[in-house]
Amino acid sequence: MCETHTAILFFAGDRAYKLKKPVDLGFLDYTTMAARRAACEREIALNRRFAPDVYLGVGEMRGPGVEDAEPLVVMRRMPADRRLSRLVRQGAAVDDVLRAVARHLAAWHAKAPRRHQVDEQGTRDALSARWEAGFAQIRSLAADGPVADAVPETERLVRRYLAGRKPMFDARIEQGRVVDGHGDLLAEDIFCLDDGPRVLDCLEFDDGLRYVDGLDDAAFLAMDLEQLGAREAAAYFLAQYSEYSGDPAPPSLWHHYVAYRAFVRAKVSLIQARQRAPGAEPAAGRLASTALRHLRTSAVCLVLVGGLPGSGKSTLSGALADRLGVSLLSSDRVRKELAGIPAEQSAAAPYGEGLYTPEWTARTYATLLERAATLLSCGESVVLDATWSTAEQREAALRTAERTSSDLVALHCQVPGDVSATRLRARGPGTSDARLDIAAAMAVREPPWAEAVAVDTSGPLESAVAQALAAVRPWGTGLAPVFRRPYMEPD
C-alpha cells in the first residue's frame, strides 16, 4: 500500500487498485461518491492515451454492511524496480528511456485535439491566474518558513516576466503549442519496460490544468529529475523533447515553466506535510528554492555593452552573448545594413559625416532598440554592442527595457588610452570604421555613465567576461552552460 495527498493505492498480485480519498483540497473535491466515481472513470479514459495496456477499468470495493460500493481504478501492476525515479537514484543509464519518453510525449502533443477551450489556458493571463492562485494557496498553507520566505521574490519575478511577454504567449497559441497534455509528468509514474516506457497517472481532476503549453508539460519531468539530483538528465530530456516537437522556444520560457512546476509541487508537499507525510516539509522548501533559482535565470535582460572605439566592447559583447546563450545585435552591422552595404565594407568618414551623421546614428539606434524590443517581448535576452556615448541613447534603451518589463544592465568597457590606441592602430578591415581621430573626438564628448558597471577590458578576455557576468547574473556567475538550447542549467 502507498498513499498520496489524493489517493491510496493497494498492490496485490499483478494488479494495482487506486482509491480516491474523500477530501476537499480546494482545487479538487472528492467528498461525494459520485465525484469519486466520475474521477475514476475520467482517469481511465485520459490515461489510456498514454498507457492503454495498463489502465484496465473501474472496479468496486464493498465492505460488510456497506450498501454503496467504493469505485477503484484498476491497473496492471508495474514492476517497482523499473520506476524511472528508482533508476535515476541508482545512477543507472536512462538516456534511452528519456529519449523514448520525449518522443512519446511529443507524438501525443502533435496529435492532441486543439480547440478554443484548450487555447484559452495557454494565454499569458491564464498562466498568470494559475500563478496567483498558487500564491494564495501557499500563503494559506505556510505562514512562515523557507517556502513563505521565497514567495515575495517569486511573485515579483513571475509578474515581471509575464508582464512583458504577451506576444510570445500569443504566438505559441497561433503555432498550436497549447495542448491537452499529461499535466503531472513525474519520474515516479514512468516505468522503463523492455518494450518501451509506460507513462502513468496524468492529471484528471481539472481539465483546465491539463490544457498546457507542451513545454510546460515536459518541464514537469525536468523539474522532477532535478529534485532527484539529475540536472544533466533534465537538460537532456528537454533537449530531446525540443528536437522531437520542433519547438524553438527561448531558454527563458523553459526556466519559467520549470519554476512553475516546482512551485506547484511545493504546494503539494505542503498539503502532504499537513497530512503528516514524512519529509514533505523539507521537500517543499527545496522545491520553492528550485522555483526561485529558475525564475532568476528566466529573467529577460537587455544588456548594453558600450565604450569608446578600441575599448574591446565588441569582443566582450560576442563572448558574453555566447556565454549566456542569448542574441547579439551590433550597431555597426545595423548601420551598414540600413545603408545597404556589406558589414565588412568600409564606410569610413570624418567624425559626424557620411553614415555617422547624427541622423544616421539616431536611425541606427532606433532600429537596434526596435529589434531588441521584439526579441525581449518574445522571451529572448539581448546583448547590444554599441558605443552608447550619449545620454539620449542610454535613456532610449532604458525606455525599451521598461516597455518590455526587462532588466537593464549597462556595461561600460574601459581601457587606458595607450591600450585603445594600440588596438586601433592594429585593427584591420572589419565592421567598425572608427580610427584614432574618431575615438579622440568621441572621448571629448562622451558624458559620464554613472549607471553603468565599469568593466576593465585591458586584460584577458575571460577576466572581462567574469566581470560582466557578475553584473548580469549577480546570484551566480559560473554559468558555463553545456545545454544552451533549449535549456540552460541555472546556478
Share of the chain above pLDDT 90, in %: 76
pLDDT in tens, 14-56: 999 999 999 998 888 999 999 999 999 999 999 999 999 999 9
Question: Can you tell me the mean pLDDT for 361-367?
Answer: 96
CA dist 99 and 91 (Å) reads 17
Question: Can you tell me the mean pLDDT for 54-78?
Answer: 92
Looking at every residue in the chain, the average pLDDT score rounds to: 91
Q: Model confidence at 490, in pLDDT bands (50, 70, 90)?
A: very low
Output 491 or 459, whichever has higher pLDDT: 459
Q: Would you state the pLDDT for residue 475? A: 66
Q: Quick one: which of 84, 60, 108, 329 has its CA closest to 196?
A: 84
Task: Determine contact, residues 289/261, Cβ cutoff 8 Å.
Answer: no
Residue 6 confidence (pLDDT) above 60: yes
Q: Which residues contact 122 (CB under 8 A, 6 or more apart)?
A: 169, 172, 173, 177, 178, 211, 212, 213
Domains and CATH numbers, the chain: 2-75 (no CATH), 79-298 (3.90.1200.10), 301-472 (3.40.50.300)
Query: Where do the H-state alpha helices sit in 228-353?
Result: 231-245, 251-274, 280-298, 313-324, 331-339
Q: Full-prediction pTM beyond 0.95?
A: no
- Nine-digit cell string for 162: 509575464
pLDDT in tens, 386-417: 999 999 999 999 999 999 999 999 999 999 88
CA dist 89 and 83 (Å) reads 10
Question: Which residues in 407-424 are b (16+ Cβ under 10 Å) and which e?
Answer: ebbbbbbbbeeebbeebb
Range in 10-14, 93-97, 201-205 with the lowest mean pLDDT = 201-205
pLDDT in tens, 424-452: 877 766 777 677 777 778 788 889 999 99
Q: Model confidence at 302, in pLDDT bands (50, 70, 90)?
A: very high
pLDDT in tens, 311-346: 889 999 999 999 998 999 999 999 989 989 887 787
Q: Would you state the pLDDT for residue 144? A: 86
